[in-house]
Amino acid sequence: MTGPRLTNTDPALRRGWHPAAMAVDVGEHPLSVELLGEHWVLVRLPVGGPISAFVDACPHRGAPLSAGTIDGDSLRCPYHGWCFEASGGCTEIPSMGVGAAIPPKAKARVPYAVEERHGIVWIAPEEPVAPLLEVPEEHEPGFMVADLPPVRARVGAGLMLDNFLDQAHFAFIHAATIGTPEAEVVHDLDIERHGFSMTVRSEHPFPNREDPAVATGERPLIQTRRLTYEYRAPFAISLRIDYVEAGGTNILAFAVQPERDDSCVVYTRILRNDLDGDPHRLAEAVSFEQKVIDEDVRLQERYRDRSLPLDITEEVHVKADRMTVELRRILADLVAVEPG
């Protein structure tokens, strides 16, 4: 008998912040997206204004609001012309005539909150148990920022987060990119949990092939890097990498959008302060990171069961798995939260 497993559409996930789209993709027309097995529409009210989100079904006859149009500060349904403001309230029903009382139940369903941050639109369908991921370095001078194209893949969101937190796979899945024999052993991890979030710190040797001083013999190929993970339930994480010998910092921010049980979208943002402001080097860094993500996705798509086991007795764990075991505990606690 197996224990509980987390799928991409578990109702408990409604109590978290989720990426839903790149903010630049929400423009002059409504944008249809899928999250947790439900269809949503994103829209700027008015055009160029802040982003609002609605469940993609008019409360009147269920027509997709994503097929509608922006009318000032409202979204107009394409079927009968009903208009809805950002709060979901109906502002106009053409068939009733001017001045008619609008039924109190004429409201479009909206999420608990919507935010635009890190170039992403985030939706919290219900009150979230953890705060939105912060990446304060975005606002620090010297950091260059770039987004990888979002990757849609047949993966489990929980398994993808498990992958991002797992250091033991570097030497194997990433043998062609970041993995080396030196990365086989996972060194001590300092894990600090706070509610439905955690901070993890570690340090390990790695081959710094990007360091120009390696080619000149000024520094050795094998150097040291310090890793700091910041995780926010359910599916967002940042990884800060500080290079001890060469100096400089590389930050990776990951978030996974669980569309439905067999589909997710993976978002990745990189921040670097060691590229001397060179856009060509930034483009190379994006290309390299894309290769690393592709290596992860190729294996994750081969999983037959895309759910994440939450009962830690169901799998075999070793010391190197402390971070991913804590992930399971946090998500198990999320599932156990009584609906508000």
Residue 230: alpha-carbon gap to chain centroid: 13
Span 154-184, pLDDT tens digits: 999 999 999 999 988 888 887 787 766 655 5
Give the pLDDT confidence of 278-337 residue by residue, as tens digits: 999 999 999 999 999 999 999 999 999 999 999 999 999 998 899 999 999 999 999 998
How do strand 5-6 and strand 31-35 relate by DSSP bridges?
unpaired
Residue 154: how many CA atoms within 13 Å on its side-chain side?
8
Distance of alpha carbon 54 from alpha carbon 76, whole angstroms: 12
Cα separation values, 325 from 5, 83, 163, 171, 231, Å: 14, 47, 12, 20, 13
Instruction: Name the CATH superfamily, with its identifier, for domain 17-124.
Output: Rieske [2Fe-2S] iron-sulphur domain (2.102.10.10)
At residue 209, the pLDDT reads 77
pLDDT at 257 over 70: yes
Predicted pLDDT at 184: 57
Q: Domain limits of the chain?
A: 17-124, 136-336
Cα–Cα distance for residue pair 75/44, rounded to 1 Å: 9
Question: Helices 279-300 & 157-165, crossing angle to 10 degrees?
Answer: 120
- Residues with Cβ < 8 Å from 175, sequence gap 6 or more? none
Spell out a b/e string for 8-36, using b for 16 or more CB atoms within 10 Å of the CB, else e: bbbebbbbbbbbbbbbeebeeebbebbbb
Please answer whether residues 155 and 301 qualify as being in contact, where contact means their C-beta atoms are separated by less than 8 angstroms: yes
Nearest by Cα to 158 from 289, 53, 340, 36: 36
Cα–Cα distances (Å) from 76 to 18, 80, 85, 92, in that order, read 26, 9, 9, 9
The mean pLDDT of the chain is 94
* CATH number listed for the domain at residues 136-336: 3.90.380.10
Q: Is the pLDDT of residue 248 over 60?
A: yes
3-state secondary structure of 12: helix
**Model pLDDT for residues 94-110, shown as the tens digit of each residue:** 999 998 999 999 999 99
Residue 169 is predicted with a pLDDT of 84
The per-residue pLDDT for 2 is 74
Q: What is the pLDDT of residue 181?
A: 63
Q: Which two tokens stand for residue 94?
A: 């053409």
CB atoms within 10 A of CB 267: 23
> Residue 83 and residue 300: Cα distance in Å, rounded?
42
CA-wise closest residue to 263 among 297, 287, 311, 310: 297
Cβ-in-10-Å burial (0-12, 13-18, 19+) of 340 comes to exposed
* Percent of all residues in the chain with a pLDDT value above 90, rounded to a whole number: 85
Question: What span, in angstroms and rounded, lies between the C-alpha atoms of 321 and 319?
Answer: 5
What six digits make up the tokens of 79? 């079927």
